């Protein structure tokens, strides 16, 4: 014990970390079962008996998303008591879980409104599952950034988190519509959503990269806005303004970087017509890399 104490690791801290870890494990387990309950299927049968890869990808996205949110709930600072720590971790974790599920619902009904996502996943549509997992992870990245931005465990904190969450969902819809219009302009008015429903995995990877990149860039607003629990309208305007600016900036830079990194390659033909998963994976990596660099620069 003396060895741990010289590094500032006390018995109280170990217990608090144990509480956080135990709650996190319970919530991650709950998320796995919620995946099946939400679509009225047995998750074990889908994963292990039917070998439904699409359901597995969707579940993986949900679990990863919750893990990301929980890292925002764990501040590294000890609470005033074990009870307060347990309540705070559970409250943030459950709130994050609810927002992830709600975000996926909104994404299904508004952003991807041309097909039934759950039906596609149960049929084994990997492309739709990839987009679904990416949407969950993108939502979680945004929730995490707001959790780290907000302070204390109050009703105003939850209002601030929910406000940023709604704006982020609006941006996800806007991004999807922009990508749809671009796809339609290059494919004689064809629908990007229908292409996903038809199983175009390359297209799914590219779109997923844009969603995750947008979520990462959304975090930049937290570096410029000072958290004030009593200025809800200011928070709304601030998050909306910064997210729009970052979306435009991100789109411009990603376009430039892709033209340089993938020069002499017709990306539209490779991804949208020839379904080149390799090129799409590189596009996805470029989008995320640009977003990470932008976020680091803003910090």
User: Tell me: the pLDDT tens digits for 129-151?
Assistant: 999 999 999 989 988 888 777 76
pLDDT of residue 75: 57
pLDDT of residue 78: 54
| Domains held by the chain: number | 1
pTM of the model: 0.88
The pair of structure tokens assigned to 97 is: 């879980």
Widest CA span of the chain, in angstroms?
A: 71
Parent domain of 206: 2-298
Buried b (16+ CB within 10 A) or exposed e, 25-39: eebbeebbebbbeeb
pLDDT of residue 256: 94
Q: Which residues in the chain come in under a pLDDT of 70?
A: 1-10, 75-80, 151-154, 227, 229, 232, 299
How deeply is 99 buried, as exposed, middle or buried, from its count of CB atoms within 10 A (0-12, 13-18, 19+)? buried
pLDDT of residue 80: 64
């Amino acid at each position: 014990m003396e060895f741990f104490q010289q590094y500032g690791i006390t018995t109280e801290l170990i217990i608090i970390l144990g509480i956080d870890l135990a709650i996190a494990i319970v919530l991650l387990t709950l998320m796995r079962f919620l995946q099946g309950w939400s679509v009225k299927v047995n998750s074990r049968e889908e994963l292990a008996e039917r070998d439904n890869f699409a359901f597995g990808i969707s579940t993986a996205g949900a679990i990863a998303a919750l893990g990301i949110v929980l890292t925002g709930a764990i501040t590294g600072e000890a609470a005033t008591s074990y009870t307060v720590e347990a309540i705070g971790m559970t409250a943030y974790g459950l709130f994050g879980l609810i927002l992830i599920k709600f975000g996926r619902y909104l994404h299904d009904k508004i952003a991807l409104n041309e097909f039934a996502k759950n039906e596609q996943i149960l049929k084994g549509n990997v492309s739709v599952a990839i987009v679904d997992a990416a949407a969950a992870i993108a939502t979680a990245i945004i929730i995490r950034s707001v959790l780290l931005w907000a302070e204390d465990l109050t009703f105003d904190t939850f209002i601030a988190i929910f406000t940023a969450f709604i704006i982020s969902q609006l941006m996800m819809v806007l991004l999807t519509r922009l990508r749809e219009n671009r796809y339609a302009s290059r494919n004689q008015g064809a629908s990007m959503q229908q292409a996903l429903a038809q199983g175009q995995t390359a297209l799914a990877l590219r779109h997923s990269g844009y969603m995750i990149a947008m979520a990462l860039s959304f975090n930049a607003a937290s570096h410029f806005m000072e958290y004030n629990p009593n200025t809800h309208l200011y928070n709304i305007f601030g998050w909306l303004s910064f997210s729009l600016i970052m979306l435009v900036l991100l789109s411009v830079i990603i376009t430039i970087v892709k033209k340089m990194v993938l020069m002499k390659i017709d990306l539209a033909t490779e991804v949208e017509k020839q379904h080149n998963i390799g090129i799409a994976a590189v596009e996805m990596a470029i989008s995320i890399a640009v977003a990470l660099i932008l976020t680091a620069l803003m910090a």
